[in-house]
Structure 1
């Protein structure tokens, strides 16, 4: 016996573990609508807690214990099954055939890089708000003073945004905090007026790949995914790689990101409406909001604005 895992409170699917490969099926039993994630995994199959029906990884019902003839299972006794893959330490579930591949992170298999998993971050906010917050650097001096931003240098430098289908990308060199005392996680040696070079890629709808550096060989990669739970809740997953401080205790970086995300959390949870309004005139946009506007337009163009 094992446990079934409900991936989302949407009651859309559950996960079972078969050997080393994850499987995902609908979380709703075809019989009486019971949440299969409240049941258990028996052998290689998931068992409904209500009547003991069992379903294999393809969603086919293999056992109805109430039947006099156990071989007479009706064809309709089945639940939807979904394609899955495990990559970058996450399990990905495709409810439909994917339109695009996952982002490529070449550094992930480079032995000269170390990787730290942070989160997950559960927010009472829609995934669109959680993701957009990650792309916004205008708030750094006010929400993260001394950690990410410098209140004495709040001006956002000009930057260009490009959109290529489902990818929105931009480069920026911006002021950052000295960050030398509380959390020594960055590799910038400038303690007077440090600048950070960042390359962002937003992969629609809610995945972000960020590469940053300071002009030397040291670099970091941030891979962030916001999982939509429902219209008012999201779960953020964060994977961070770097090619320096390879022996540093992972808790240093994890504690730092916990502070950052907790500072963001109360702000983003206060936003109304809970979901980003993709219509360009719904909120006021300034020049430094170019990435938000480009991402919102791309979401509309790719029909992710429902």
Structure 2
């Protein structure tokens, strides 16, 4: 499946840029092949628009923000949060600026420290709700923001694949004694699927330090949610009462590349576990995934008969079925390179 050729994916929300990167200058981003410019208005709210001036097509992301408006670097035209041109230096009377002077804007919201964008005026579902993000006993820690050369669908399936840790995560938590989960329960939901599982793991020194635990061997109780199409939330519940929540979105840049946006939430304090240490361990895990995922074919077939399957692939199989149903519901057929 080639995501840029499936129009329905434009009707979902994706995190594109950390708000912190927008404080001083506009930024560019490519979402589903569409070049965007993102900036902050006077209220500090993110605004997203097509990264082309309507005058001579210069990239607005190379310009600057003036009183909350994006100013073109070529001739200084300024556009507000609605895309309307509000200042043309070459026209002294602003009332004379033609209404046709405008740029395409898109829906954009701040959530969890990122600017989220939807390329459609009619989103299929809201930005994923994470209750813990508003709870005082949890802290939110940004983790990774980088491009991976793989399909978002591969990343989502990998998040819910409990057979790969034994072989991929050999230096972090994978246990050779537990090649499959001890428990695995999968439920269909309106937003995607929910997976609950129990997996035997090992805890290297850094992880034992982060968890304030002495045991090298233990079990992870996992509560995972896949939010269609490319966001996964993983709650890891540890025996000592700690909950470590990893939120991962594979924002689609193109058919073959994804912007990996990952942050975590934890119900402990900086004094108990330094944020840098928590990120360091998750970073090791993520790099192990990246090496494998970037070796896979980005044109993921939705037809499960085109790849071989096994018992632990059940979450991924359901994901493919649900995306196939989504395409069919909106009058689309799977687009591939074949």
TM-score (norm 1): 0.90
Which residue in the other structure is 1:109 paired with?
Answer: 134
Structure 2 contact 252–259 (Cα < 8 Å) conserved: yes
Instruction: Tell me the distance in 2 between the aligned counterparts of 1:112 and 1:68.
Output: 55
| Pairwise CA RMSD | 2.4
Q: How does 1:1-306 map to 2 (within 5 A)?
A: 3-8=25-30, 10-18=33-41, 19-67=43-91, 71-96=95-120, 97-157=122-182, 159-181=184-206, 184-186=209-211, 190-192=215-217, 194-244=218-268, 246-247=270-271, 248-272=273-297, 274-303=298-327
Write 1 or 2 for the structure with the bigger share of helix: 2
Q: 1:51 to 1:286 in 2, by over 3 A?
A: same
Instruction: Tell me the distance in 2 between the aligned counterparts of 1:223 and 1:25.
Output: 26
Structure 2 contact 223–234 (Cα < 8 Å) conserved: yes
In structure 1, stretches of 5+ residues that fail to align are none
TM-score (norm 2): 0.82
In structure 2, stretches of 5+ residues that fail to align are 1-22
Which residue in the other structure is 2:20 paired with?
Answer: none
Structure 1 residues 33-77: Cα deviation after superposition (integer angstroms, max 9, x where no partner)? 222111111222111122222111110112333457654333222
Instruction: Tell me the distance in 1 between the aligned counterparts of 2:206 and 2:316.
Output: 32
Instruction: Tell me the distance in 2 between the aligned counterparts of 1:140 and 1:200.
Output: 16
Instruction: Tell me the distance in 2 between the aligned counterparts of 1:172 and 1:138.
Output: 12
Structure 2 contact 156–226 (Cα < 8 Å) conserved: no
Q: CA deviation at 1:164?
A: 2.1
Instruction: Tell me the distance in 2 between the aligned counterparts of 1:241 and 1:69.
Output: 51
Instruction: Tell me the distance in 2 between the aligned counterparts of 1:256 and 1:121.
Output: 17
Instruction: Tell me the distance in 1 between the aligned counterparts of 2:307 and 2:136.
Output: 45
Aligned length: 304
Structure 2 contact 211–242 (Cα < 8 Å) conserved: no
User: Any idea what SS the aligned residue of 1:92 has?
Assistant: strand
Instruction: Tell me the distance in 2 between the aligned counterparts of 1:286 and 1:204.
Output: 22
Structure 1 residues 212-237: Cα deviation after superposition (integer angstroms, max 9, x where no partner)? 21345222212111111111211111
